């Protein structure tokens, strides 16, 4: 009865091969869908953050949507400083009614409501800021919170 122990090197090599095969099998289309969904969730989160900050009296916070030759993105600005900028994948397109998103102290959007559309191949997602309440909704077939 000869017993062989698996060495750490063999284990690492086996795991590396499994990870390599898994990465090669994972289509890049799924990666872009993930990036688009991540962008949308970050944008909604930052819009809600701006709404909360504006409701506390700081009207120097806003989200600015950008569309240029380099692609689409949004910038979170607070007190005249860019806090962060998030880019969409190059294959995506963003459409909006207003580039700057701000809120009044009562939480309503200023000026009025905004609709943001993110288009990726055949997928269209829509972010709506409700004019009366300031709620931020994501729509993909049906509304999500």
Q: What is the pLDDT of residues 30-56, one digit of tens each?
A: 777 888 888 999 999 999 999 999 999
Cα dihedral angle (119, 78, 129, 91), rounded to 10 degrees?
Answer: 0
Tell me the per-residue pLDDT of 57-94, one tens digit each, with 9 for 90 and over.
988 999 999 988 888 899 999 999 999 999 988 888 89
Specify the pTM.
0.75
- Please list, in sequence order, all residues whose beta carbon lies within 8 angstroms of the beta carbon of residue 79, skipping any fewer than 6 positions away: 58, 60, 61
Q: Is the pLDDT of residue 13 over 80?
A: yes
* Contacting residues for 117 by C-beta, under 8 A, at least 6 apart: 94, 95, 96, 124, 125, 126, 127
CA 63 → CA 8, 90, 142, distances in Å? 50, 20, 25
In the chain, what is the greatest distance between 2 CA atoms, to the nearest angstrom?
Answer: 80
Give the DSSP letter of residue 7: P
pLDDT at 69: 80
């Amino acid at each position: 009865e000869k017993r062989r122990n698996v060495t750490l090197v063999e284990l690492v090599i086996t795991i590396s091969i499994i990870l390599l095969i898994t990465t090669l099998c994972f289509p890049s289309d799924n990666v872009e869908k993930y990036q688009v969904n991540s962008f949308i969730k970050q944008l909604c989160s930052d819009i809600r953050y701006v709404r909360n900050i504006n409701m506390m009296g700081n009207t120097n916070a806003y989200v600015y949507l950008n569309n240029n030759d380099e692609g689409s993105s949004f910038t979170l600005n607070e007190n005249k400083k860019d806090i962060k900028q998030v880019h969409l994948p190059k294959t995506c397109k963003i459409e909006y009614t207003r580039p700057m998103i701000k809120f009044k102290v009562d939480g309503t959007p200023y000026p009025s409501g905004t609709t943001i559309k993110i288009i990726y191949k055949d997928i269209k997602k829509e972010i709506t800021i409700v004019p009366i309440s300031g709620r931020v909704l994501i729509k993909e077939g049906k509304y999500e919170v």
